[in-house]
């Protein structure tokens, strides 16, 4: 697969993040959006991402990650504070995807030239209720699929003028690195280069598994690097 992300910041500090990590057989992806702006939003975002990473590094699966992170957030932050999040865990050998939607906007799938909005049921954002039970939803990737995850800075206010589904189909030949910049550039244009909220996108292209198991537990696999010139 190929992944690429881009965060186009607003004029004030907001709370968007994207994060991803490969282990031997899985890819973990998170896209989060903390409420508000300024230092509070930055602290909320950092707290959630750090918690998810800590549980993941301890071997926790997706269900354990979201449960532990939510409990920690709910006991540490104010009752009127929260972070929305979209988390994906992808099994590399099979393309099976587990999804948690914590109050976040839907994501998109481009398959065979057709764009589908992936609207799984949404659970409460992280930090709102300590005993929230998060649903784990499933889908399976096919070779050639493209996933696009966004925050609400890509869909609300002036950004709503950009038809993301149409733009995703129109740009299907772009590399993910080009795509994420193209889409945020469109939002910047309709907003007159003055964003009132962070605009964040994360793209994943899935090619299917034709490789042996990765040889490393984290980071890049040296065996798949281009040969030295």
Give the model's pLDDT for residue 224. 60
The fraction of the chain above a pLDDT of 70, given in percent, is: 90
Note the pLDDT tens digit of each residue in 104-155: 999 999 999 999 999 999 999 999 999 999 999 999 999 999 999 999 999 9
Domains and CATH numbers, the chain: 2-209 (3.60.40.10)
Give the model's pLDDT for residue 226. 59
Strand duo 199-205 + 2-8: pairing = antiparallel
139: Cα within 13 Å, side-chain hemisphere: 16
Nearest residue to 64 via CA among 76, 52, 46, 74: 52
- DSSP string over 104-159: PPPEEEEETTEEEEE-PPPBPPBTS-TT-----EEEE--TT-EEEEE-GGGTSGGG
Taking each helix axis as running N to C, give the angle between helix 62-76 and helix 38-57, from 0 to 180 degrees, rounded to the nearest 10.
Answer: 140
Query: What three-state secondary structure class fits 219?
Result: coil
Vertex 226 angle, CA 91 and 224, to 5°:
25
d(CA 11, CA 88): 29
Residue 42: CB atoms within 10 A of its CB come to 16
Vertex 1 angle, CA 89 and 150, to 5°:
60
Give the model's pLDDT for residue 219. 62
Name beta bridge partners: 4. Answer: 203
Vertex 48 angle, CA 43 and 54, to 5°:
120
Give the model's pLDDT for residue 186. 96
- Quote the mean pLDDT of the chain: 91
Give the model's pLDDT for residue 39. 86
Q: 178 or 196: whose pLDDT is higher?
A: 178
Task: Spell out the residues 6+ positions from residue 154 whose beta carbon is closer than 8 angstroms to its own.
Answer: 162, 164, 183, 184, 187, 199, 200, 201
d(CA 88, CA 59): 16
């Amino acid at each position: 697969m190929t992944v690429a992300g881009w965060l186009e910041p607003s004029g004030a500090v907001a709370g968007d993040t994207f994060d991803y990590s490969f282990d031997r057989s899985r890819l973990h992806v998170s896209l989060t959006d903390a409420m508000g702006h300024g230092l509070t939003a930055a602290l909320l975002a950092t707290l959630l991402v750090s918690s998810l990473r800590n549980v993941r590094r301890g071997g926790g699966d997706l269900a354990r990650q979201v449960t532990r992170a939510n409990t920690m957030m709910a006991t540490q932050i104010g009752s009127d504070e929260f972070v929305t999040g979209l988390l994906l865990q992808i099994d590399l050998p099979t393309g099976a995807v587990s999804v948690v939607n914590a109050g976040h906007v839907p994501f998109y799938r481009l398959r065979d030239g057709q764009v589908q909005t992936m609207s799984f049921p949404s659970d409460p954002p992280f930090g709102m209720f300590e005993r929230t039970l998060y649903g784990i939803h499933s889908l399976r990737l096919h070779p050639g699929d493209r996933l696009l995850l966004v925050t609400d800075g890509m869909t609300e206010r002036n950004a709503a003028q950009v038809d993301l589904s149409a733009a995703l189909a129109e740009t299907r030949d772009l590399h993910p690195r080009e795509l994420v910049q193209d889409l945020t550039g469109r939002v910047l244009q309709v907003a007159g280069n003055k964003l009132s909220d962070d605009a964040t996108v994360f793209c994943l292209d899935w090619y299917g598994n034709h490789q042996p198991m990765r040889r490393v537990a984290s980071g890049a696999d040296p065996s798949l690097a281009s040969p030295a010139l």
